Amino acid sequence: MNEIKNKTNFEINQVINEPYKYGFETKIEKEEFPKGLNEEIITLISKKKNEPEFLQTFRLNAFKKWIKLKSPSWANLSINPINYNDITYYSIPKQKKKLNSLEEVDPEILKTFEKLGISLEEQKKLSNVAIDAVFDSVSIGTTYQEKLGKAGVIFCSISDAIKFYPNLVKKFLGTVISSGDNFFASLNSAVFTDGSFCYIPKNVTCPLELSTYFRINDKDAGQFERTLIIAEKNSAVNYLEGCTAPQFSENQLHAAIVELIAFENAKIKYSTVQNWYSGNEEGIGGIYNFVTKRGLCIGKNSNISWTQVETGSSITWKYPSCVLLGKNSSGEFYSIALTNNYQQADTGTKMIHLGENTTSKIISKGISCGNSKNSYRGLVKIGLNGAYARNFSQCDSFLIGSSSLACTYPYLDTWNSTAIIEHEAKISKISEEQLFYLTQRGIGIENAIGLLINGFCKDVVTMLPMEFATEADKLLSLKLEGTVG
Amino acid sequence: MSKILLKVQNLEASIEKKKILKKLNLEINENEIHVIMGPNGSGKSTLSKILAGHPSYSIENGTVEFCQKNLLEMSPETRSHEGLFLAFQYPIEIAGVTNYDFLRIAYNEKQKYLKEPELDPLQFMELTQILLNKLKIKNEFLNRNLNEGFSGGEKKRNEILQMLLLNPKLIILDEIDSGLDIDAIKIICEEIKKNIRKNSSLVVITHYPRILNYLKPTFVHIMIDGKIVKSGNMELVDYLENKGYQDLNI
């Protein structure tokens, strides 16, 4: 019988260690800058992209701040030192001439996205999602621009936005996350090469779900993308972000910024399914994911909702946050973070209640397997003017196996005595009795684990848009189960 | 002569080096009802868990054949697919998984194993509807999370619902009567008798002879300290009722 028990453990391991499916590399001709970071490289990036002067100044200022900053060491992560001069900051697929339409994109790249399950050919796409595809440092193409244009929605790469809507970019870029916000945000502000831009005008509910798909392909290039979403008064938008990268034994750096701004009555729902390469079973390779995401609810009754499913990356350092400035504004954070092998995740949120009657809700589910480390870190801050602010937090952790680690670090900082803050936390282990019950009913061990995990994550998965919920389910399955019925 | 369903020979098993089963023998043919009684800690529930393949126990000796196959070599799910069903004394609660999803997955896994067609959600709904009506269970039962917040009676009914759905050959009822009132015991026993498949057999583990008014046993076994010490018929139960386990003269 012991044998059977060992077999069970073995099976659990096998199930959890499903290999990474997106680890292939696309061979394309690329144009890149020499490695290293200095003012010259930054000026070169700016020149290369024909940027207006304000942006070059923005970058150089950020760089000046960055050299004075130190990489944050407070997170529950052990990170090998990163040599920032050994990274390529600009790498784009080589194009013979300017592209006028998607048909002119290198077929190899289109194939890459096809392989990832992202078809950029509009007729083949899900009919209600517009996609911006980012390959290494550059946006490859954005679908459905015409349809969006009719509604007045601007959805394009941030490079195009800089070119065609410089005033909007100038007005909003860096207003939520300043170029000196933190080490990685400054780095991004200095060297970001592309990303998505989205502007929803007054009284418009975006007719499509918007989606950006990020792909890191180059071995030595960092990906520093920047997303800026502005929702004007009475507008609403649903935004989805997906990511993958090839399998290399070196670590790649990903330091992104996402800024959201919601005006009066506006609603932004931002969902991420992150599946960067997480390194192999010994912890070699994988993406270092240092991301600053923050939304500003500037108007009355505005709402920003973050949903994330974090399954990839060797290191995740990410705290999608909401600054609740407008009266009655609300922020939400729903998160599933799954770590395996030697992955480390330190993720959570900040809810900064500055306005009256603001509310926030945090639901975080951490799942740790193998030798991984999974920490929730969250701050709920109520400012002096945050009268009657309310927060509810629930942080649940689920441990699989006996070598994984789950930590919860909730921080509360209240300056107004009328605020109400609730916090619940729970750590559970996969129980042998649950597995026995399910297997006795004929459900094999891998499906049983999958079922337990799905049950554990249900509150969050139901918050994802349909297309993503399926993808998230698939991803969790891929990481944990063979197939789930 | 009817066919042998289960044959346990000289079974010895332990948990954490503590011996629980000591040379246990048991033979069950098709179409029989076996009752196992015995004092607390005699190993009755352990026997049911070992037959179902609980991973915590180690088998040290002996053989178990189920339908002429070596049961001990099978994984718990294979045992289930082959037709062994254990109704739990304490059914486990699982958060976030609806009863309906659980039942459908369990059912389809068995269909897959038997190379029979799997049912889509609508077809499966029709099938469960029939069973729900039989057991007089309300539909909303299906939308609740598996056993979560169920009353004692509801949990036991859910076990019976699963049993009917999986249509097993050998059913082990581990104290199905604990936590149930008299009416509920009667209804559940009648449903079991009425609905189990032809030629299937029951193993009833219990402390209370009351349930035997509804499930008439073919054999009654007394289990003490990891082995079956006496077997007989209903008369043995009457004897126990009067004298208890201590006067068994073994």
Q: Is pLDDT above 90 for A382? A: yes
Q: Is A135 exposed, middle or buried (0-12, 13-18, 19+ CB in 10 A)?
A: buried
- State what percent of residues in chain B have pLDDT above 70: 98
Take residue A423 and report the two structure tokens written for it: 């916090």
Q: Which of B66, B97, B107, B165 to mutate to test the interface with A (most CBs of A within 10 A)?
A: B97
pLDDT at A323 exceeding the cut of 60 = yes
Give yes or no for residue A23 having a pLDDT over 80.
no
The answer, yes or no, to whether residue A126 has pLDDT greater than 90, is no
Q: Are A256 and A291 in contact (CB under 8 A)?
A: yes
pLDDT at B114 over 60: yes
Angle at A444 between CA B8 and CA A485, to 5 degrees: 145
With CB atoms and an 8 Å threshold, state whether B55 touches A5: yes
A111 pLDDT above the threshold of 70: no
pLDDT average, residue stretch B91-97: 90
Residue B24, pLDDT above cutoff 60: yes
Let me know if residue B13 belongs to a domain: yes
What is the model's pLDDT at position B33? 93
- Residue A292 and residue A185: Cα distance in Å, rounded? 6
A80-94, A296-310, B101-115, B145-159: which range is least confident on average?
Answer: A80-94
Model pLDDT for residues B170-217, shown as the tens digit of each residue = 999 999 888 788 888 888 888 888 878 888 999 999 988 888 888 889
pLDDT for A102 beyond 60: no
Q: How far is CA B247 from the centre of its chain?
A: 29
* Residue A485 belongs to some domain of the structure: no
In a domain, B100, yes or no: no
Report the residue of chain A nearest B86, measured CA to CA: A440
pLDDT for position A128: 53
- Of the candidates A431, A443, A457, the beta carbon closest to that of B109 is on A443
What's the residue count for chain B? 250
Polymer length of chain A: 485
B96 within domain boundaries: no
What's the whole-number mean pLDDT along residues A223-251? 81
- A395 pLDDT band (50/70/90 cuts)? very high
pLDDT, tens digit, 9 for 90 and up, residues A431-478: 889 999 999 999 998 888 888 888 888 888 777 776 667 666 666 666
Q: pLDDT (tens digit, 9 = 90+) per residue, A337-347?
A: 888 888 899 99
Arithmetic mean of pLDDT, B74-88: 95
Is the predicted pLDDT of residue A282 greater than 50, yes or no? yes
On the question of pLDDT at A482 being above 50, the answer is: no
What domain range includes position B62?
4-91+150-243
Strand partners, A138: A135
Counting the structural domains of chain A, the total is: 1
Q: Select from A439, A455, A485 the Cβ nearest to the Cβ of B96.
A: A455
Expressed as residue numbers, the domain containing A183 is: 2-480
> CB distance from A19 to chain B under 8 Å?
no
pLDDT band, residue A37 (cuts 50/70/90): confident
Q: What is the pLDDT of residue B250?
A: 57
Q: How close B56 gets to chain A, by Cα (Å)?
A: 7
Q: What is the pTM of this model?
A: 0.79
Residue A93 pLDDT class (50, 70, 90 cuts): low
Q: In terms of pLDDT, which residue wins out, A435 or A99?
A: A435
What local confidence, expressed as pLDDT, does residue B79 receive? 96
- Could you tell me the CATH number of the domain that includes residue B14? 3.40.50.300
- Residue B74 belongs to some domain of the structure: yes
What pLDDT score does A60 carry?
Answer: 93
Residue B35 lies in a domain: yes
Structural domains of chain B, count:
1
Q: Do A4 and B55 touch (CB under 8 A)?
A: yes
A8 → chain B, closest CA residue: B55
Flag whether B156 is in a domain.
yes
Q: Best of B56, B63, B79, B124 to disrupt the A interface by mutation (most A CBs within 10 Å)?
A: B56
